[in-house]
Structure 1
Amino acid sequence: MKEDFLHYVWQHQYFDKTNLQTEAGESVTVLKPGYRNADAGPDFLNARLQLGEVEWNGAVEIHLRASDWHRHQHQTDPKYDQVVLHVVYAADQEVQRTNGSVIPVLALAWRLSPEMLNTYHRLLEQPEPAALPCAPLLPVVPDITRTMMAERALLERVEQKAVVVAALHETLAHDWEATAYHALAAGFGFQKNSEPLARLAKALPLSVLRRHRHDLLQTEALLFGQAGFLAEQPATAADEYIGSLRKEYSFMRHKYQLPTALPGHEWNFLRLRPANFPPVRLGQLAAVLHARPTLFAPLLSAGSVAVLEQFFQAPVSDYWRQHFRPGKPGKVPALGRSSVHLLVTNVVVPLRVAYARQTGQAELVESAVGLLEQLPAEHNHLTEPYERLGFRHRTAADSQGLLALSHGYCQPRRCLHCAIGSRILQQNPVRS
């Protein structure tokens, strides 16, 4: 058993309250269980309890064993002096506040429903490969509960991504155009190379790129040079185009005192299709930066995915339509719709939500999620188990919700924090 199970039981009062007493034999009446404390200190604050003839307002601390109080050194921490009741599974030790006064203990071991305990253990003891611990118990969960939980998880996932964008915006002196550039650069890494592309954006300020965005050759020279792809090597010794990029980059690097280029080992080529090689993505990013005078305003105002598809369909230079990497020829496909859809999901939507949160424009959050509802669903090994169990999966909004369920709840076994898991446990609670 984990402590968060007792948190859940106390919060919802899912235990037998018949003749409720402390270990010292004092009667207990729960008038208000309090609210969960997300910060340091006791688990529940502002609880109202009647112990014997006296009504108390204070905090409740929860442990599996009473002795955990001393194991966590609460007896020396003044924050825990406000605790008026110590709720435990097993009362194996008397505990005190910093002044030595004894804290009443309520043990719940025999007050919990055996059926609920059995259900809880079934959820947590599913073998590790099981995608959904609750899969065998799902028939008791209404479709509306599943849908609402997936939607909640979707919003949490979008918000988490927006928090990352907001932090980036903070480091960039609150410049939304620069934020869009950095987010877009990382997005063009498509997971495998998002980190090195994010570092490339830091090594190549937008202020420098702006001065040369009118010239595609110079834009490519800056990007490929700072990425480390223009270093001298036998494969490009006779390559005139790479030679011209190298010449442009050498001049601009000294002019702007750019930092050292990224080392070659930063880039990931392993298990990537040639169309996803970093130089291919850099060529596509250079085309967008060259073709679009501004980034943030179009990404913020686009009313549909179709408009965003046009935004990203910028003409790539002839060389990067015919080379997968410097000096290595081959026919390269254009930026595909599926790639654009990933950019919408991982760049445009979080960018818009972060801006909406800062400016207080709640309607922008709704429009951002609306973009996901215009995109087709994503099918992979994480969404497949949910589809098989009948979860709604029609659009990218559904896909993102299912991915959020998998990463945020099912894989870490956070069933007690999930509406689906909560609904299952509610089938056998003990209340009075």
Structure 2
Amino acid sequence: MKEDFLHYIWQHQYFDKTALATAEGDLLQVLHTGFYNTDAGPDFKEALLKIGEVEWSGSVEIHLKASDWFRHQHQSDPKYDQVVLHVVWEADKAVHRIDDESVVPVLELRSRVKPELLQTYQQLQLAKSTIPCAAFWPNVPGITKTIMLERTLAERLEQKGKEVLQVYRSYGNDWEQATYNTLLKGFGFKINQQAFDQLAKALPQTVVRRHHQSLLQVEALLFGQAGFLEEAEDAYVKQLQKEHAFLSHKYGLQSNVVERHQWNFLRMRPANFPTVRLAQLAAVLHQHQALFTKLVEAKDVKTYEALFMVPVSVYWQQHYLPGKETKAVQKALGKSSAQNLVINVAVPLMAAYANFSGERAYLEKAVWLLEQLKEASNKYTRQYEELGWQAKTAADNQAALSLYKKYCQPVNCLRCAIGNKVMKQNGLAA
């Protein structure tokens, strides 16, 4: 058992209150459980209790054993003097406040919780399936799953928006810089995401912006700072080398080149090589200025796709690597890849701007956009499909991904509406 089980029991008051009393023998009445605290300090704040004939307002601290108070060093922390009730599974030791050495009242729960509730909790915690509630999933009402998936989608958009806002603020409140960093990370398509993130730091957006009118110079900056201009010797690459040498010296970029070993080519189709992605990125940066505004204000899916599906330069239509010609022609980013960028670039930017501006319409637009797009299932979302749930849109996929990473993977069932339903159906109804 972990403390989260007792947090859950206390928050929902899922214990027998018959002749409820503290371990010291005083009658106890819970008037308000308090608000769950995720920051430092006691677990629940602003609780309202009646102990004996006196009403108390303060905090509630929760432990498996009362002696954990000392193991967590609360006896030397004045913040815990405000605790008016110590809720424990086992009351094995008395606890005193620092200021006046008075006893902190204790409520022991181990004889007041239904065995079936604890058993259900343990089944979820010890489940061998990667989806802890897999065995219970078919019996959970569809509306419960829908509500939880809507919640996890909102949580994912909030988190993605916060990440963009952090970049926005760390670069002097510049939306175009935040867009640039998010765009480069998006062009990494997971397997090269870290390398593209490094490239965003190695090549400032302000430098690219100054030279956006020349596709040759944009390519020189990107390929040079990515470390791809050192080997090939054909005429075009020599031009890129010459431009990069000049520009990197002008802007002091020489020491920030990304190491070649940071780029992944293994088990990739040539069309997905990071060199091809760089060429496609160069085309987008050359074609579009004020990209943030375009990404936030576009009206339909086709417009969004078109922002990313820009034809690459003639050289990169016939090459996958510098100096290595191919008969295949790669004109622009494919539709599915463009939609991936809509999901991972445009949507987080809108979520961030909704947070920043306080205009919910941008968040609603982000959700609407996800609902218009399809997204391939992945190893995480396929686990829900195996249980009978099917993703119809990118919104469904993003919600399922968030459900897995935030709740299923860390076995955080007691904070999940689906897990709560399982607990009620199997632990309380028994």
Same fold (TM over 0.5): yes
Equivalent-residue separation in structure 1 for 2:154 and 2:249 (angstroms): 46
More divergent stretch after superposition (145-154 vs 287-296): 287-296
Amino acid at match of 2:4: D
| Contact kept? 2:187, 2:341, Cα under 8 Å | yes
Q: Which residue does 1:245 correspond to in 2?
A: 240
Asked whether 1:302 is paired with 2:301, we answer no
Deviation at 1:68, TM superposition (A): 0.2
Shift of 1:158: 1.3
Aligned twin of 1:38: 38
Q: Which residue of 2 aligns with 1:126?
A: 127
Counterpart residue number, 2:366: 368
What is the CA-CA distance between 1:139 and the residue it aligns to?
3.4
Tell me which residue corresponds to 2:376: 378
Partner of 2:55: helix, strand, or coil?
Answer: strand
8 Å contact from structure 1 (residues 147, 392) kept in 2: no
Q: CA deviation at 1:273?
A: 2.2
Question: TM-score w.r.t. structure 2 length?
Answer: 0.96
Aligned to 2:391: 393
Deviation sequence 1:188-207 (CA, Å, 0-9, x none): 11111122212212222222
Contact 2:114–2:428 (CA under 8 A) maintained in structure 1: yes
Give the 5 Å matches for 1:78-89. 78-89=78-89
Task: Tell me the secondary structure at the aligned position of residue 146 of structure 2.
Answer: helix
For residue 136 of structure 2, give the secondary structure of its aligned residue in structure 1.
helix
Aligned mates of 1:185, 1:376 — CA distance in 2:
22
Q: Secondary structure at the match of 1:413?
A: coil
Query: Given the alignment of the two structures, is residue 327 of structure 1 paired with residue 328 of structure 2, yes or no?
Result: no
- The two structures have a TM-score, normalised by structure 1, of 0.95
2:75 counterpart residue number: 75
Aligned to 2:313: 317
Secondary structure class of the residue paired with 1:88: strand
Q: CA deviation at 1:102?
A: 1.1
Write the distance in 1 (CA, Å) between the matches of 2:89 and 2:14: 13
Q: Answer yes or no: is the 8 Å Cα contact 1:15–1:430 preserved in 2.
A: no
Describe the superposition over 1:191-248 as per-residue Cα deviations: whole angstroms up to 9, x where unpaired. Answer: 11122212212222222222221111111111111111111x3xx23x1111111111
Instruction: Tell me how far apart the structure 2 counterparts of residues 332 and 82 of structure 1 sit (CA, whole Å).
Output: 70
Map residues 10-409 of structure 1 onto 2, 5 A cutoff.
Answer: 10-99=10-99, 100-127=101-128, 130-231=129-230, 233=231, 236-237=232-233, 239-260=234-255, 261-330=257-326, 331-333=328-330, 334-409=332-407
Question: 1:14·1:429 contact (CA, 8 Å) conserved in 2?
Answer: no
- Asked whether the 8 Å contact 2:287–2:310 carries over to 1, the reply is yes
Say which structure, 1 or 2, has more relative contact order (CA 8 Å, 6+ apart). 1
Structure 1 spans left out of the alignment, 5+ residues: none
What SS is found at the alignment partner of 1:109?
Answer: coil
Q: Is the 8 A contact 2:84 2:105 kept in 1?
A: yes
For these two proteins, the number of residue pairs brought into alignment is 425
Q: Which runs of 4+ in 1 moved over 4 A?
A: 428-431
Return 5+ residue gaps in structure 2 as ranges: none
CA separation in 1, counterparts of 2:72 and 2:116? 31
Q: Which moved more, 1:4-13 or 1:376-385?
A: 376-385
What is the deviation of 1:337?
A: 1.2
> Does the 8 Å CA contact 2:309/2:335 hold for their aligned counterparts?
no
Paired AA for residue 39 in structure 1: D
- Kept in 2, the 8 Å contact 1:415–1:421? The answer is yes
Residue deviations 1:338-397 (CA, integer Å, cap 9, x gap): 111111111110011101111111111000111100101422221122123233511000
* Cα shift at 1:332: 5.0
CA drift at 1:292: 1.4
Q: Deviations over 1:46-93 (max 9, x none)?
A: 111111111111111000000000101111110000111110001111
Aligned 8 A contact 1:147 1:391 in 2: no
Quick check: 1:63–1:89 contact (8 Å CA) kept in 2?
Answer: yes
Report the Cα offset of residue 141 of structure 1: 1.7
Q: Deviations over 1:122-141 (max 9, x none)?
A: 111111xx131111112332
